[in-house]
A = this chain, B = another copy of it.
Amino acid sequence: MKTLILISHPKFEDSGTQQFLKTSFYSLDDVKYQVIDELYADTGKIDIDKEQAALKAFDRIVFQFPMYWYSSPASLKQFMDDVFTRNYIVANRSLKTKELGIVVTLGDAEADFQAGGPEAFTISELLRPFQAFAHKAGMQYLKPFVVDQFGYMDPTQKQRMLIDYLQYLSAEMPLNLANREQWLVGRLQATKEGKSDEQQQAIDLVINSIEDQQNNVESLKEDVKMIRDQEE
């Protein structure tokens, strides 16, 4: 599965959050990224045909941006207005069945975004225009990945967030336990390459232990299902 991250950020190089996230997606072969602002930097115009053609190669398209006035920065909107012509999206359904993910970073706590909170509206509500776009394009709208108050995270929290982020970029959706574990096994398999026999055996041991756990979970699920069925 191939993923394209379209980043909208007027100061991408200066953003600690963006640079932290950037270090991670180099480790995934099938994930590419593009900073939209850089596409417009030279002439203020982009090559629409080229961008339209390029998008078709990906299965998951991720818009990544800091929330500016309850939406993306202007550069992503400009990209959408320019590249997502009616012909491309509606007549030719060029992005149909692809997934649309959103990675949004917040300076405030996510809990502030709710009725009665200082921001009054939820992230779901504020991102509705993107959801409506996915609906129109026939794309599958993924649950947004929210990074709030990155500056307050300790190193452990950052590492955990990074794993979640990598899974958001490249694991099968939805991100349930089974898909997360499958992703992890895949990543471990990939790291075996070029390692010594001993190291490979150690990794295999970890993989086996994850797969054993998966089997346990599956068997537990079966048990729960049987009990439920008997109750009804």
Contact = CB atoms under 8 A, between A and B. Distances in A.
Interface stretch (A94-102, A119-127, A144-152): A119-127
A178 to B, nearest CB: 30
Given A44-B44, A125-B125, A132 B70 contact: yes
A-side interface mostly? helix
Interface of A: 10, 44, 68-75, 77-78, 80-81, 84, 119-121, 125-126, 128-133, 135-136
B74 A69 contact: no
Nearest to A135: B120
Contact of A77 (B71, B120, B121, B133): B71
B74 A133 contact: no
Contact of A132 (B119, B129, B133, B135): B119
Contact of A81 (B73, B81, B120, B125): B73
Nearest to A82: B74
Nearest to A78: B74
Nearest to A132: B70
B70 A81 contact: no
Given A44-B44, A81-B10, A70 B133 contact: yes
Contacts of A74: 74-75, 77-78, 80-81
Contacts of A73: 77, 81
A88 to B, nearest CB: 12
A37 to B, nearest CB: 12
5 contacts: A69-B133, A71-B71, A72-B77, A74-B75, A119-B132
A69 B79 CA distance: 11
A121 B132 contact: yes
A126 B126 contact: no
Contacts of A121: 128, 131-132, 135
Contacts of A130: 70
Nearest to A40: B44
Given A69-B129, A70-B129, 8 more contacts: A68-B81, A69-B133, A70-B128, A70-B132, A119-B132, A120-B132, A126-B128, A126-B129
Among A80, A119, A128, A130, max chain B CB count under 10 A is at A128
